[in-house]
Amino acid sequence: MASDHIRADMVDASEFSTLSQKYNVSGVPKTIINGSQFIEGTQPIDRLFLEILKVVHPEEFEKLKSEVRAARGGRRVRNPNPEHIYEVAIVGGGPAAMSAGVYAARKELDTLMIAQEIGGQVNYTASIDNYLGLPGIGGKELTEMFREHVERYPIAQALGDEVVSIRRDEEHYVVTLKKGVGYRAHSVIYCSGKEYRRLGIPREEQFIGRGIAFCATCDAPLYKDRRVAVVGGGNSAFTAARDLVNFASEIYLIHRRDEFTADPALIRQVSKAGNVKILTNRVVRDILGQEKFEGIRIRPSGDGPGEDLKVDGMFLEIGLIPNSDPVREMVQLNEKGEVRINHRNETNLPGFFAAGDVTDVFEKQICIAVGDGAKAALAAHEYLLEHQLTQSKVKVGDAWE
């Protein structure tokens, strides 16, 4: 009643058993918002309202949360200033960057964080079971906890734009964003992470989010009773297929080889599902449909006639590539395109540090990114002290304070 946009149904779960099954009702009351978000039990009205806002206006929800934290004194983030020269610029918004932010801020470094979005890959992970002390935590939830922590410190943040280049001037580093703004800093901690690999076929970009997807955990419900293709042969492809089994009517798992790298247990589980069809030695060549995604054209990996597959969507699960393009000309990369670092998270350039999935660190894990982000910030602090580039009075040795 408080809003013309909200309508509310009270539904007797026992009278409408099909609907109850659809919503997995095992206890009442259970509240469903727009058919997707579920709240168990009785909740205070403000909680319900926040859940509604989260579903229909995620940006507004984030804004509101920031406002609330600022009002409580728990958020001290500042606006970025292109005229200012920062002591350290942290590029990225994932776990490595946020950990670096906390450590840099606690060393009282004049810090700027530049990121297109906060969270990165973690946001697309439904549930995380290997982050110490927080078994089973949701990806978005963990991001939120990280974010609230780093934003307690008076760092500057430039969010929502993409970094296109980083170069070294005579005196400092210049980080240039897509919209043309440039920020300057005496040192950089580069934590830009990885992103999903694309197929490299025509019109692929055009259909991303409109038929082409990467996150089955997030998008599987959209493909209820529809036909989908999953491309790939590793754990992420089979996990995506498994997530889709309960929703899609038919799933085509397409792999360019005839052997899979996924765990045998996962392969067995997916192969047993009645609605999964595995097509090996096939590659995707083209997208069918003009305005609307209508399917794909596949063809044998060697050579042979093409075949059209009518599907409503395609999940690309063919690995990740490091976001190292903006620094490609400047720092040393390995053969995978990852930034080479040493055990102090230094690159070959003085004052340029890197951490997390974009680096050649052994294994890509949230906890490793968090650890390396901290190391990079401490190393950057030491570098700035040695070169007398910081006003920070904090000495290097007191990391235990």
Positions touching other proteins (CB under 8 A) are 1-3, 5-16, 19-20, 23, 25, 28-35, 45-46, 48-49, 52-53, 55-57, 60, 64
Q: How far apart are CA 125 and CA 168, in angstroms?
A: 35
Which of 9, 169 has the CB closer to other proteins? Answer: 9
373: CB partners within 8 A, 6+ apart: 95, 96, 97, 98, 99, 100, 101, 103, 189, 191, 355, 356
Q: To 10 degrees, the CA torsion angle through 292, 295, 296, 300?
A: -170
Q: How many CB atoms lie within 10 A of CB 58?
A: 11
* β-sheet bridge partners, residue 275: none
Of 110, 191, 219, 372, catalytic: 219
At 363, list the tokens: 């294994």
- Which residue's CB is nearer to other proteins, number 10 or number 71? 10
Q: How far is the CB of 309 from other proteins (least distance, A)?
A: 34
Question: Closest approach of Cβ 36 to other proteins, in Å?
Answer: 10
Is 218 a catalytic site residue?
A: yes
Residue whose tokens read 């395109």: 337
d(C-alpha 137, C-alpha 122), whole Å: 11
Q: Name which of 41, 144, 153 is nearest 107 in CA terms.
A: 153
Strand partners, 196: 320
Q: Between 44 and 200, whose beta carbon lies closer to other proteins?
A: 44
Residue 15 beta carbon to other proteins: minimum distance, rounded to whole angstroms: 4
Determine the distance from the C-alpha atom of residue 351 to the mean position of all C-alpha atoms in its chain, rounded to a whole number: 27
Which stretch of DSSP H or E encloses residue 188? strand 182-190
Smaller CB distance to other proteins: residue 5 or 393? Answer: 5
- Say whether 248 sits in a helix, a strand or coil: coil
Could you confirm whether 219 is annotated as catalytic? yes
Shortest distance (Å) from residue 18 CB to other proteins: 9
Residue 206 in tokens: 């055009």
> 20 or 392: whose CB is closer to other proteins?
20
Q: Which residues face 321 on adjacent strands?
A: 195
**Residue 188: beta bridge partners?**
89, 352
CB closer to other proteins out of 35 and 202 = 35
**Smallest distance, Å, CB 68 to other proteins?**
11
CB atoms within 10 A of CB 121: 22
Beta bridge partners of 209: none
CB of 6 to other proteins, least distance (A): 5
Distance between CA atoms of 74 and 152, rounded to whole angstroms? 5
Is 215 in the active site? yes
Q: How far apart are CA 393 and CA 379, in angstroms?
A: 15
**Scanning the structure block, which residue is given the tokens 């990740």?**
320
Distance in Å, CB of 161 to other proteins, minimum? 25
Instruction: Pick the closer one to other proteins by CB: 35 or 74.
Output: 35
Question: Which amino acid would we find at residue 264?
Answer: P
218, 286, 360, 367: which one is catalytic?
218
> What are the residue numbers of the active site?
215, 218-219
